[in-house]
Amino acid sequence: MSDQRELAAQFDQLAALMEITGANGFRVSAARRVARVLQEFDGDLRELAETPGGLEAMDGIGKGSAERIRQWCRTGRLEGRDRIAAEVPDGLIGLLDISGLGPKTVGRLWREAGVTDTATLREAINDGRLASLPRMGAKTIANISDSLDFAAKAAQRTSIGAALPLATQLCAALASVPGTTRIDWAGSLRRGCETIGDIDLLAISGDPTCLIAAFTTQPGVTKVLAAGDTKASVRLNDQIQIDLRVVPEQEFGAAWLYFTGSKEHNVALRHRAQQRNLRLNEYGLFPDDGEESPPQDRGKRPIASQTEQDIYEALELPWRPPELRESRDGITEPPPDLITVEDICRDLHTHTTASDGHLSIRDMAEEAIRRGFDSLAITDHSRSSVQANGLDADRLRSHIEAIREVDASLPEITLLAGSEVDIHADGRLDYDDEILAMLDIVVASPHAALKQSPDDATARLIEAASHPLVHIIGHPTGRMIGRRPGLEPDMRALCAAAAAHGTALEINANPKRLDLCDRHVRIALECGGLISINTDAHQAGHFDFLRYGVLTGRRGTLTAEACINAWPLSRLLEWLDRGS
Ligand SMILES: [Zn+2]
Ligand SMILES: [Zn+2]
């Protein structure tokens, strides 16, 4: 993690701690603002801190905060954080991850009901302590209880949004250890799953001892679970387990295939091998000579082992991308030509400071240009999203003007004036048709009433997908991974309606959402529908989410042809225009 990301996380935590203890709201928002500024800063923080007046020149950083940042650079400690953290039980911070619990409520539960973590919260619900608190209704308590159950189930796994950057960083660091010629990740991470158990790393090295030593002593290791000559396991930041195996170069493909899984895919491949009088294991594909003991232990040479391709070929199978190695995927069908990050030419769902984004229209456009996009849709929230500063019709009109003005000044990119329009519980949209008709692109999304019945959800979403002025249904279920399940519409009915009206369904690439999920993408494609992959960026760094959306699309068998973000711009513009 870069210095500023690490410090931003500490400022965020400080803000949460202050709010829990009931600190002055002005100080809380100041700390949040500093976190945001740091999050978006992409220079060298230490260098800036040493430049006189450098930090103070940044918008949102006052004199006091600048001094604290300098102190952190010198000492690694954020002034005030340790003191306030000592006052607050450790488990309270974890409660903030439970859907429906903000810092203010957590503070109340702590002071008024003695809640200090998830276990004591569960107790307080069960013994009626929570119900005896003023202003704590039965419905609120039932919601908290639901969220607790849901979070407990999800707690054992790490989001791909945390695991992938971590693995990338680890591999980069270990690749520079002398003797390492290759290092890569395997497992559910390589298959692009939305949540990951452990991270499995696989390496080739001329000096395994040196690599294992570097692995077990790297920064962030909180426990070494095992350390041998060619493999080791560690726990990082007390959060995630990472396993490293060093294998000989000639066995890398067999090991990579084996440790990538899925288990079901490996079983199917072993079965295929048996049918051909072969034996497949993590060391290679061997002739089956009828002996019990493993062929590699008897000095037998494999038929294939160095690359995955060699092994698939020897089994007379097409190579499969890791994203298509789940139990639902066969092994004999040739896989489709899956979409890649490089295929994506644009983002069609982003926010600016007009609603709850952090950047201006121009800053967003320039970031999109930097990322090589040919176009960008600005889709701020509609009026009912009050908490997100949604735009009423008048503000939207001037916002459209402002987007057109910036567009005219930037020949490198085409800006589309859009909106993320709320879909009300009954399927009506948040703006009149007359307003919607002024926009280049309409993304319609559900934000509230996410617990309605499946029947109501189906009717609601079909109504929106059938609206002639709607182009995309944004995050169709509204789920948050590990936090809330979201709507549960009849997905096949929704996808069929969307396909019939030429409305695209979104894969929202935010790793907390990934909505549509991979299963739903498959259904949409089976119905002949279109997909749009968008990051829903609220700040520059959010454009990085794209890869999670693409991985989810690939797991759903998505090709560039079925993804409107990968089309030539002229084709997209024609498609957007279709209704008018
Ligand atoms: Zn949204
Ligand atoms: Zn959005």
- pLDDT tens, position by position, 72-104: 998 888 888 888 888 888 888 888 878 778 888
Q: What pLDDT is recorded for position 580?
A: 44
Contact between 20 and 92 under an 8 Å Cβ cutoff? The reply is: yes
pLDDT higher at 7 or 182 = 182
Q: Could you say which ligand is closest to the alpha carbon of residue 349? A: 2
Separation of CA 536 and ligand 2 centre (Å): 5
Predicted TM-score (pTM) of this structure: 0.79
Separation of CA 430 and ligand 1 centre (Å): 13
**pLDDT tens-digit profile of 513-533?**
999 999 999 999 999 999 999
Separation of CA 488 and ligand 1 centre (Å): 17
Q: Could you say which ligand is closest to the alpha carbon of residue 351? A: 2
Q: What pLDDT is recorded for position 1?
A: 56
What are the E-state strand segments in 186-261?
195-196, 199-205, 221-227, 231-236, 240-246
Split at pLDDT 50, 70, 90, the class of 249 is very high
Q: What pLDDT is recorded for position 307?
A: 98
| Residues with C-beta atoms within 5 A of ion ligand 1 | 445
pLDDT higher at 455 or 8 = 455
For 134-150, what is the mean pLDDT?
86
**pLDDT tens-digit profile of 446-469?**
999 999 999 999 999 999 999 999
Separation of CA 273 and ligand 2 centre (Å): 48
Separation of CA 350 and ligand 1 centre (Å): 9
| Ramachandran category for residue 557: left, alpha or beta (phi over 0 → left; psi -120 to 50 → alpha) | left
Q: How far is the C-alpha of 443 from the C-alpha of 381, rounded, in Å? A: 10
Separation of CA 534 and ligand 2 centre (Å): 9
| Class of the CATH domain delimited by 252-324 | alpha beta
Separation of CA 475 and ligand 1 centre (Å): 7
Q: Could you say which ligand is closest to the alpha carbon of residue 377? A: 2
Q: Could you say which ligand is closest to the alpha carbon of residue 448? A: 1
- Residues carrying CATH 1.10.150.110, the chain: 3-154
| Class of the CATH domain delimited by 341-579 | alpha beta
Tell me the CATH number for domain 158-246: 3.30.460.10
CB-based contacts of 103: which residues, under 8 Å, 6+ apart? 16, 19, 20, 96
Structure tokens given for 296: 């590699």
- Whole-number average pLDDT of the chain: 93
Separation of CA 33 and ligand 1 centre (Å): 22
- Residues carrying CATH 3.30.460.10, the chain: 158-246
| Class of the CATH domain delimited by 3-154 | mainly alpha
Separation of CA 417 and ligand 2 centre (Å): 14
Separation of CA 420 and ligand 2 centre (Å): 6
| Ramachandran category for residue 334: left, alpha or beta (phi over 0 → left; psi -120 to 50 → alpha) | beta
Separation of CA 481 and ligand 1 centre (Å): 15
Q: How far is the C-alpha of 422 from the C-alpha of 464, rounded, in Å? A: 10
Split at pLDDT 50, 70, 90, the class of 60 is confident
* Alpha helix positions (H), 176-294: 187-190, 208-216, 252-260, 263-275
- Residues carrying CATH 3.30.210.10, the chain: 252-324
Q: Could you say which ligand is closest to the alpha carbon of residue 537? A: 2
Separation of CA 364 and ligand 2 centre (Å): 14
Separation of CA 535 and ligand 1 centre (Å): 11
- Residues carrying CATH 3.20.20.140, the chain: 341-579
CA end-to-end distance (rounded Å), the chain: 48
Separation of CA 383 and ligand 2 centre (Å): 13
Q: Could you say which ligand is closest to the alpha carbon of residue 475? A: 1
For 266-295, what is the mean pLDDT?
93
Q: What pLDDT is recorded for position 42?
A: 79
What are the φ and ψ backbone dihedral angles of 442, each rounded to 5 degrees?
-120, 120
**pLDDT tens-digit profile of 295-336?**
888 889 999 999 999 999 999 999 999 999 999 999 999 999
